[in-house]
């Protein structure tokens, strides 16, 4: 089973936006009611399963007339999400679920069997056809459909079972490529090509601070507070879009030119402990870049060889193999004391990563 997901922006009318918000609220209401019921069961030494929670909610919701006009699938999947969270908590994978607040993340899932996609529109239960910005990229059986809001935009995330077999080994005959990621340049290849880091947070930092100050002056949860909150959300959304666009362009260009990729193994959480670099590292979002690269290489069957955590890619001369004892972060040009090689620090590291990947694949 090969699952593929496609997140598409919607073009809803005002009435449809209101409907989406109502279903998100209904899903949150069901989640919180079931969580309260489950915690009450724990106090009574009664472990309530997903079926028990769902049946008890279906009985209790009859006291609220407004629930009759809602999409009951939204409540069903809200309780199902709670059940999955409880299982993760029981297996000590995540913490115990908490109550959801109003006005935070808005999303709800619906029954994929009642959904139909035709071109640039999607038919959702009870609301009918909604326009989309794009056509669905994949074909196959619908597994899950989720509606969510980010800033001022509504999205639909469609998961498809394409039924395709595992991707075979890449046979394009392209060379191996070494990739060194960083802050100044998002990625540097062994041939010297660099993909610039747009640093969107740094670009919009002053404007973001100004809009957040305006938000702090508003009366909490007043109409003007919600309006200003949307302005801040749009700004954050723009920053995220700029960052994701740079990541997608760089990763797509890399996978199109490589049959094997050598890259260093990074522990981003450890890097963020450096208070001088934490902000710049967060702005670069190297974890998201590596995640997108891995997703695309898995799709094309391109092996990604990760060098060990303490592999001295920057300190090692890519020509003679001499390893320096120390290399300051401010030294952007690598100068070898043995063979007198002078090369860019990032390119030197990328060449070493390429050599490591080639040597690994030849074993």
Ordered strands of the 194-196 beta sheet: 194-196, 185-189, 176-181, 260-264, 304-307
Residue 60 CA to residue 56 CA, distance in Å, equals: 6
Residue 332 pLDDT grade (very low, low, confident, very high; cuts 50, 70, 90) = confident
Note the pLDDT tens digit of each residue in 145-164.
Answer: 999 999 999 999 999 988 87
The CA distances from residue 95 to 12, 54, 79, 92, 104, in Å, are 36, 22, 17, 7, 19
Q: What is the pLDDT of residues 64-98, one digit of tens each?
A: 999 999 999 999 999 999 999 999 999 999 999 99
What pLDDT is recorded for position 230?
93
Task: Please list, in sequence order, all residues whose beta carbon lies within 8 angstroms of the beta carbon of residue 337, skipping any fewer than 6 positions away.
Answer: 322, 324
Average pLDDT, the chain: 91
pLDDT tens profile 16-68: 999 999 999 999 999 999 999 999 998 888 899 999 999 999 999 999 999 99
Per-residue pLDDT band for 266 (boundaries 50, 70, 90) equals confident
Q: 325 falls in which pLDDT band (50, 70, 90)?
A: confident
pTM here is: 0.86
Helix ranges restricted to H, 256-308? 268-271, 278-284, 286-300
The pLDDT of 268-290, averaged and rounded, is 89
Whether the per-residue pLDDT at 240 is higher than 80: the answer is yes
How far apart CA 176 and CA 174 sit, in angstroms, is 7
């Amino acid at each position: 089973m090969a699952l593929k997901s496609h997140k598409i922006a919607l073009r809803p009318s005002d009435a449809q936006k209101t409907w989406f918000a109502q279903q998100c609220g209904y899903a949150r209401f069901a989640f919180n009611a079931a969580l309260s019921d489950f915690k009450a069961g724990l106090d009574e030494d009664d472990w309530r399963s997903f079926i028990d929670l769902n049946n008890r909610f279906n009985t209790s919701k009859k006291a609220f007339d407004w629930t009759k006009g809602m999409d009951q699938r939204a409540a069903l999947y809200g309780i199902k999400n709670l059940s999955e969270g409880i299982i993760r908590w029981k297996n000590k994978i995540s913490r115990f679920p908490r109550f959801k607040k109003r006005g935070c993340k808005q999303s709800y899932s619906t029954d994929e069997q009642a959904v139909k996609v035709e071109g640039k529109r999607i038919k959702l239960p009870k609301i009918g056809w909604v326009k989309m910005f794009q056509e669905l990229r994949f074909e196959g059986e619908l597994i899950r459909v989720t509606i969510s809001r980010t800033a001022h935009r509504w999205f639909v995330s469609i998961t498809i079972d394409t039924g395709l077999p595992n991707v075979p080994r890449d046979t394009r005959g392209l060379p191996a490529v070494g990739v060194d990621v960083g802050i100044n340049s998002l990625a540097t290849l062994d041939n010297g090509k660099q993909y610039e880091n747009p640093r969107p947070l740094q670009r919009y930092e002053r404007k973001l601070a100004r809009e957040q100050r305006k938000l702090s002056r508003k009366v909490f949860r007043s109409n003007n507070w919600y309006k200003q909150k949307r302005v801040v959300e749009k700004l954050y959304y723009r920053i995220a879009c700029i960052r994701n666009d740079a990541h997608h362009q760089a990763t797509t260009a890399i996978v199109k030119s490589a049959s094997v990729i050598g890259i260093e193994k990074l522990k981003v959480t450890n890097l963020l402990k450096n208070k001088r670099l934490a902000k710049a590292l967060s702005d670069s979002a190297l974890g998201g870049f590596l995640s997108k690269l891995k997703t695309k290489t898995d799709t094309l069957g391109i092996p990604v060889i990760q060098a060990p955590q303490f592999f001295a890619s920057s300190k090692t001369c890519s020509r003679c193999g001499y390893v320096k004892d120390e290399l300051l972060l401010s030294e952007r040009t690598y100068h070898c004391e043995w063979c007198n090689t002078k090369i860019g620090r990032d390119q030197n590291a990328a060449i070493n990563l390429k050599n490591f990947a080639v040597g690994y694949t030849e074993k």
